[in-house]
Structure 1
């Protein structure tokens, strides 16, 4: 049985972002009914996250989560509300380095402490010792996000005293992190990416033969239409039930297009339409949303998956102006819950649509007036809104793959290709006793 270590150098919690949730779902699929991978070869899978303390969470006899404490957490560098994901900025993680030799395949998913440790450990193995197989997947455009957060940090630290400092830091951070990412990926025999554009970019650096797709799945048991969700949303959060509800879910910052959405909804309200914005997430733009929309916005903060699914199902439209997503699982989740989705033309999130215009609305320009026009078209025509919502749910059921399918078709072939299992076991029980 091939032993696989997936290295997710992000803090794991109930309200963690899509990168963490992605690997939680893959692990649940790998555990499978009776602890076996459905319709695929068995692997022994350990997903390493960051945590406040070291511990192991067993999902089955052959699947587990291991949380390791960060050496140098990035929490001190968060911009506003601590909304960014916390990672480990250390150049080496000694505890992880001690555990990695138990595994045959080391799967990198980021470009910080865990990834650097894996590459360093692989290069320093004893001569004649078993060589691990390094593979990787790209889930987020970290260099681009770093550029945006650098501007936020410059504003917070310098208070505008040095004009242009934010732009300088942003450009430098993006350039350095892109070089670092590509350098680490260069050590991997296979790199997976979710979008054609992402794969083409990596192929220019790594070669097309080393790049392959990795789709995102959807949990249709968790995300589905729920006729009772609207009244529950009104009862639990005071959201008005007598008007169309527009939902946004994600970090509240410029990378997600939140300022554009706020101005768009304000324009809709200024035209005399009755609508209400519901927001799930935290971030630097939260106060700006409150100032712009006042009583016409409800901010719910970060929500665990189960509660978020009920919020989706209680709303009508999912407006997501972000252009930085590599996949945007929130779009697939919203469609599965029967929401009409509004997306920017050319964004990777539009790949969830099979019939643009019928199972979702694509807005051509990042202009508040155009977004307001698209929202008004749905608000003013209940029949059209109902039709788009219905088609979105149909597309989700018929065209969006399950996590089981993606695991079997995209991941397992990469993990098990030509590998001779070493037979080592990942830690069980308490991680502290597994050294």
Structure 2
């Protein structure tokens, strides 16, 4: 099996999609499965991806969302690279410029191809006052995804969303967690002292700092909590378009760490006391599993892909989506009941230990082989 991946986001970008793709590529390499990645060129930082077999294309920042890149793939150069590599299957990880290029290459060459739905972009539009375009966004996604041999999404809830919007050939491709990296043993006194004042109980948020993550609601809920329990603290890890605005409006008792990756990220997880996540637009919510593996009980909005892993009163506390009061009440309960916190944390570690990446990627490869063997899905010439 030879796999070509087209993605509009890849390391060193720090987001769920980029991290999943990087882990998948590492898995392919470990199992001696040839692969090539077509991804944006991030300038000087692109040297980070030299450990991977990456063909980069020029890109610019998307005006409304600088983290996202608009790529300008040279079709002839990509076609040449693809022909030299001769893949058995193409995986379109994103539906934008590079993913669209991959779709064009796949349809022209006859190489079997599949796609992923990692991000609910139509759902994001409302947070940017662009909900008028939601119908058009789904129309485009139907056109894109319904040409693919399979469309992988990370959760049952997301699968239902796609089917409601008439997207076909939907399959579940879940996420996993690296428990060798994320685990309670990563606790660090140095990290704890750096970000959490002494004798405080620390809630942690990890993720993009953007309107669709509902961080204003989180701040309002935390302010309620802090007024009753001044021993509460909130640590915000991440970056994004709302970073400066959120720093300005943050209530008392909030610390920002900026982006953290690798061991530094694992340490901040393990060095806090509970995880809080108010987003309702997640297709999976990989950070939920990372928090659980690190020994943190979770307080999160019970919506979207979060429902895939959050089990109320077992590994966390589920909140009513978009409900500031309910979020604050669940945070207060977590804050004042140490026995509850300990029980949920123990269960969270046990639950996350059962979610290995190898199992997730093995299932994806089985789907590749099945799709590649379908009559008619034969590799044609590049003419």
Paired position in structure 2 for 1:387: 343
Corresponding residue of 1:69: 57
Q: Paired residue for 2:112?
A: 133
Instruction: Give, in angstroms, the shift of residue 418 of structure 1.
Output: 5.9
Residues 2, 34 of structure 2: 8 Å contact kept: yes
Aligned to 2:285: 328
Structure having the higher Rg:
1
Deviation at 1:349, TM superposition (A): 0.8
SS state of the match for residue 325, structure 1? coil
Say which of 108, 111, 119 aligns to 1:124: 108
User: What is the deviation of 1:117?
Assistant: 1.5
| CA RMSD across the alignment | 2.6
Q: For 2:217 and 2:278, how far apart are their aligned partners in 1?
A: 7
Look up the match of 1:100.
82
The Cα shift of 1:191 comes to 1.1
Partner of 2:298: 341
Gapped regions of structure 1 (runs ≥ 5): 126-130, 152-166, 424-435
Q: Secondary structure at the match of 1:234?
A: helix
> Contact 1:258/1:285 (CA < 8 Å) preserved in 2?
no
1:372 aligns with 2:354: no
| Candidates 20, 23, 42, aligned match of 1:22 | 20
Change beyond 3 A, Cα 1:199–1:359: same
Task: Report what 2:135 is aligned to.
Answer: 175
Deviations 1:305-353 (A, max 9, x none): 3211110000011100101110110000000000010111233213213
Give the match for residue 414 of structure 1. 367
Q: Secondary structure at the match of 1:283?
A: coil
TM-score by structure 2 length? 0.88
Among 132, 138, 145, which residue is 2:124 paired with?
145
Contact residue 202 and residue 211 of structure 1 kept, 8 A? yes
The offset of 1:92, in angstroms, is 6.4
Per the alignment, residue 221 of structure 1 pairs with 180
Report if the CA contact (8 A) 1:100-1:118 is conserved: no
* CA shift in 2, pair 1:55/1:296, >3 Å: closer
Kept after mapping to 2: 8 A contact 1:245/1:277: yes
Contact 1:91 1:117 in 2 (8 A): yes
SS at 2:174 equivalent: coil
Q: Show the counterpart of 1:10.
A: 9
1:85 CA drift (Å): 2.9
Q: What count of residue pairs does the alignment treat as equivalent?
A: 372
1:351 lines up with 2:311 in the alignment = no
Q: Is 1:46 aligned with 2:5?
A: no
Q: Aligned pair in 2 of structure 1 residues 85, 65: CA closer, same or farther (>3 Å)?
A: farther
* 2-structure distance, mates of 1:281, 1:56: 20
Q: Distance in 2 between matches of 1:114 and 1:228?
A: 39
Out of 357, 367, 383, the position equivalent to 1:403 is 357
For residues 13-45 of structure 1, what are the alpha-carbon distances to aligned partners after superposition, in whole Å with 9 as ceiling and x for unaligned? 1x521100001111222222xxxx2xxxx6322
> Residue 274 in 1 paired to residue 234 in 2?
no
Question: 1:29-71 deviations in whole A, cap 9, x for unaligned?
Answer: 2222xxxx2xxxx632223321235879576xxxx4304123x
Deviation at 1:395, TM superposition (A): 1.3
Cα deviation digits, residues 153-211 of structure 1 (max 9, x gap)? xxxxxxxxxxxxxx4xx02443333222221112111111112232234345244xx22
Alpha-carbon distance between aligned partners in 1 of 2:263 and 2:327, rounded to the nearest angstrom: 29
Summarize the Cα distance change of 1:187–1:55 in structure 2 as closer, same or farther, 3 Å threshold: farther
Match of 1:233 among 187, 191, 196: 191
